[in-house]
Amino acid sequence: MDTLQSLAGAAKAWPFEQARALVERLEKLGKPGPVVFETGYGPSGLPHLGTFGEVVRTSMVRRAFVTLTGATVPTRLICVSDDMDGMRKVPGNVPDPGALEPYLQRPLTDVPDPFGTHAGFAQHNNARLRAFLDAFGFEYEFLSATDLYRSGRFDAMLMRALERFDAIMEVMLPSLGEERRRTYSPFLPISPKTGRVLYVPMTRVDAASGTITFNDEDGEETTLSVTGGRVKLQWKPDFGMRWAALGVDFEMYGKDHQTNGVIYSKICRILGHEPPQQYCYELFLDEQGEKISKTKGNGIAVEDWLRFASPESLKLYNFQKPRTAKRLYFDVIPKAVDEYLSYLEAYQQESPQARLENPVWHIHAGAPPAIGSPVSFNLLLNLVSAANAQSKAQIWAFIEKYAAGVSPATHPILDSLCGYALAYFEAFVAPAKRFRAPDARERAALVDLSAQLKGVAAGADGAALQNLVFEIGKAHGFEPLRDWFKALYEVLLGQEQGPRFGSFIAIFGVKETAAMIDDALARTPGAG
């Protein structure tokens, strides 16, 4: 029997493709481990969907690598906060933003915490990041750029960058506009007088003494050592330096970094290290096809998604086609939830090889739950609508009649879906409902359907009920039949699309569905 490790060697899912490339890289370099996976975080704001996406995808590659190598090579996932960056503008969503104005361009760790809970603004947001990652159960090590600079962890690499100042400038200058080239320096001194991160040209660079000289904000010529957190690097050189200093083996980033990846790599090599394997993913777009922006607020925040659907569905959305731009708005949530349920159901019937291609293997780190949900999310939404349900208990009253032996205790995923369905329906489905009156042919078909349902025995299965609906549609001349189902959805549910109608009748109840049809016919024009 093939072992999981050997099966992983042939798996085509993208995390395994990245894991195999990483194994080849390590063999080429002769590096025994540990293998370092890195993600970065800008602590000027709260964690967001991009933060989640990078960590969850990187964790998937890490799991694939561990499986591929038989857990013989140690691994680390480090999450580095760029908290030594200067605060460029005061966020508008903090208490008393005016109080932070004097701290512009100060390192984010030196800016007071406007929330009053931590020593600094970055420390506050870093704590939020760790709580955010912990809530999802990610395994990671948190590193603060400020601590890395001020503790001396970066000192040796900063000294080497100073020695190779000209080579770094040769890489950077062609990437800059003409005006910026005249004043650019890869080193950003932190003013000993104001504590601000300064974007100023160097008047002297002395590799032998490990110092840079520049004019401070008051015009006085100042010399600083590049060690001990007295300076930091511009963000592009910092990227490459960090790879070298921390021995990073794998990093993924969004398409907005794609052109800079070459620069990061060149600087890493200048500093004497081979750059990590890199994976560039496409960005999420909003409903209009525009890039999602925290500033614009034109996308879905993680907390928004989790109000209406499970973390697993969000992980699936990140797993699928990471190199294809995808639109991310609230309408995608039900589809993502039901796709997750379908993958979970399929997993139990698949071969060991096929399981490694199934997204749920990667979502659940190789151990998906055995029991999913016998009811789709889309069907639950329509059940909430038809039953005018206000609580999970009301939904379960229908489910338990439909599926014997199914309960919140035996099917916790379904139980959580009931809560999500109530929230999603209230926020998005109910406000968009538009009922219409049936035309003459539709009315006749609905009368027929109601009459026949009243003669159906309780407990009829969804397939038989679906056939009944089909036959009535054909008998009343609907061609194509989708026009008949569209009429059912618009007249009875107030929406253009809906569930497999036979399954809906089975769970809602044949008598209840007949009564719903009768009520709809009675309240619309043309009723007898």
Say which residue, 285 or 456, is predicted with more confidence. Answer: 456
Burial grade of 126 (CB within 10 A; 0-12, 13-18, 19 or more): buried
Query: For 104-162, what is each residue's pLDDT tens digit?
Result: 999 999 999 999 999 999 999 999 999 999 999 999 999 999 999 999 999 999 999 99
Residue 39 to residues 142, 213, 242, 319: CA-CA distances in angstroms?
10, 33, 11, 16
Query: For 362-374, what is each residue's pLDDT tens digit?
Result: 999 999 999 999 9
Phi (first) and psi of residue 222, to 5 degrees: -135, 140
Residues 7-32: what's their mean pLDDT?
95
pLDDT at 337: 97
pLDDT of 22 over the 80 cut: yes
Containing 128, the helix (H) or strand (E) segment is helix 121-135
The answer to whether the CB of 169 falls within 8 A of the CB of 183 is no
Say which residue, 294 or 404, is predicted with more confidence. Answer: 404
The answer to whether the CB of 82 falls within 8 A of the CB of 40 is yes
The answer to whether the CB of 427 falls within 8 A of the CB of 331 is no
Burial grade of 121 (CB within 10 A; 0-12, 13-18, 19 or more): buried
Average pLDDT, the chain: 93
Residues 406-413: what's their mean pLDDT?
96
Other C-beta atoms lying within 10 Å of the C-beta of residue 88: 10
- Closest by CA to 80, choosing from 281, 236, 275, 246, is 246
Residues 389-404: what's their mean pLDDT?
92
Place 525 in a pLDDT band, splitting at 50, 70 and 90: low
pLDDT at 142: 97
pLDDT at 314: 94
Asked whether the bond before 322 is cis by omega within 30 degrees of 0, the reply is: no
Alpha-carbon distance of 506 to 493, in angstroms, equals 16
The answer to whether the CB of 369 falls within 8 A of the CB of 344 is yes
pLDDT at 301: 79
The answer to whether the CB of 105 falls within 8 A of the CB of 87 is yes
Query: For 466-497, what is each residue's pLDDT tens digit?
Result: 999 999 999 999 999 999 999 999 999 999 88
The ranges assigned to domains in the chain are 4-176+234-281, 284-363, 377-432, 440-522
Residues 385-402: what's their mean pLDDT?
92
Place 328 in a pLDDT band, splitting at 50, 70 and 90: confident
Fold of 440-522: Arc Repressor Mutant, subunit A (1.10.10)
Other C-beta atoms lying within 10 Å of the C-beta of residue 431: 8
Which residues contact residue 180 at a Cβ distance below 8 angstroms, ignoring those fewer than 6 apart?
none
pLDDT at 526: 59
Fold of 4-176+234-281: Rossmann fold (3.40.50)
Phi (first) and psi of residue 480, to 5 degrees: -80, 165
For the chain, the distance separating the N- and C-terminal CA atoms, rounded to the nearest angstrom, is: 70
Place 303 in a pLDDT band, splitting at 50, 70 and 90: confident
Alpha-carbon distance of 10 to 358, in angstroms, equals 14
DSSP string, 23-38: HHHHHHHT--S-EEEE
Identify each DSSP E strand in 7-145 by its residue range.
Answer: 35-41, 75-81, 141-144
The answer to whether the CB of 311 falls within 8 A of the CB of 283 is no
Query: For 234-245, what is each residue's pLDDT tens digit?
Result: 999 999 999 999
Asked if 4-176+234-281 and 440-522 have one fold, the answer is no
Is residue 189 helix, strand or coil?
A: strand
The amino acid sitting at 107 is P
pLDDT at 167: 98
pLDDT of 294 over the 60 cut: no
Residues 13-26: what's their mean pLDDT?
96
pLDDT of 49 over the 90 cut: no
pLDDT of 296 over the 90 cut: no
DSSP state at residue 115: T
Q: Is the pTM of this model over 0.75?
A: yes
Report CA 37 to chain centroid distance, whole Å: 18
Alpha-carbon distance of 344 to 338, in angstroms, equals 10
pLDDT at 93: 81
β partners of residue 250: 37, 277
Alpha-carbon distance of 414 to 111, in angstroms, equals 46
